[in-house]
């Protein structure tokens, strides 16, 4: 059986997007305003992670509720075009290399345990239950998979805000980034 070559041309990312998403540390915590480009850049990152994976390897996009995960699913399916080999069941994409990208809800944390995941995006993290973070961290343990944890600032008592402060202060294996709509305007990707 021959080697299948998959060509993926990374769309343009402005410098702050690229620095946040391609952070070399395992966990990148990204506080960003609406329309600063966090979702689109994480879609690109997760596709690249999965394209570098293998058959049956799992990649997750997790949002607070399934309706928000469905938004990312639709955007990613559209961005893949012909590279999306199959769209199975609700909320699952299988790439030509056999890697599977799942779109999940963090609403019921106990339903997230058990799988081995090679990389993930936690979307709207300030709205994801803290118990879901413990489950999500556990499914990355065996693979030592990276995570991009993105969200708006919503209060100061949630796990995302607290963890972002740890990353900002230099916690091991965590990077911290901040993106605003003004950054996107200056980069020319969002109109004034």
- Per-residue pLDDT band for 9 (boundaries 50, 70, 90) equals confident
CA nearest to 83, candidates 73, 93, 74: 93
Residue 1, pLDDT > 50, answer no
92-94 and 100-105 strand pairing? antiparallel
Instruction: Kindly report, residue by residue over 71-114, the tens digit of the pLDDT.
Output: 999 888 888 776 545 555 578 898 888 899 999 999 999 999 99
Instruction: Kindly report, residue by residue over 104-140, the tens digit of the pLDDT.
Output: 999 999 999 999 999 999 999 999 999 999 999 999 9
What is the distance between the alpha carbons of residues 33 and 180, in angstroms, rounded to a whole number? 5
CA nearest to 167, candidates 20, 17, 50: 20
Average pLDDT, the chain: 89
Instruction: Kindly report, residue by residue over 144-186, the tens digit of the pLDDT.
Output: 999 999 998 777 889 999 999 999 999 999 999 999 888 888 9
pTM, two decimals, is: 0.91
22 burial type by CB count under 10 A (0-12 exposed, 13-18 middle, 19+ buried): middle
């Amino acid at each position: 059986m021959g080697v299948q070559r998959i060509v993926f041309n990374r769309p343009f990312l402005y410098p702050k997007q690229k620095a946040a998403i391609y952070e070399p540390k395992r966990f990148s915590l990204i506080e960003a305003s609406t329309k600063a480009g966090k979702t689109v850049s994480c879609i690109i990152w997760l596709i690249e992670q999965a394209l570098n994976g293998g058959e049956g390897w799992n990649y997750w996009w997790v949002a607070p509720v399934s309706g928000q995960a469905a938004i990312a699913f639709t955007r990613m399916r559209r961005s893949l075009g012909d590279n999306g080999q199959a769209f199975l069941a609700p909320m699952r994409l299988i790439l030509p290399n056999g890697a599977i990208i799942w779109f999940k809800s963090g609403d019921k944390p106990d339903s997230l345990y058990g799988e081995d995941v090679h990389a993930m995006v936690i979307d709207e993290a300030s709205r994801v239950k803290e118990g879901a973070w413990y489950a999500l961290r556990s499914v990355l343990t065996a693979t030592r998979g990276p995570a991009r944890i993105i969200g708006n600032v919503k209060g100061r008592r949630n796990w995302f805000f607290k963890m972002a402060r740890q990353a900002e202060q230099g916690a091991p294996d965590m990077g911290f980034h901040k993106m605003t709509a003004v950054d996107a305007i200056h980069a020319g990707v969002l109109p004034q």
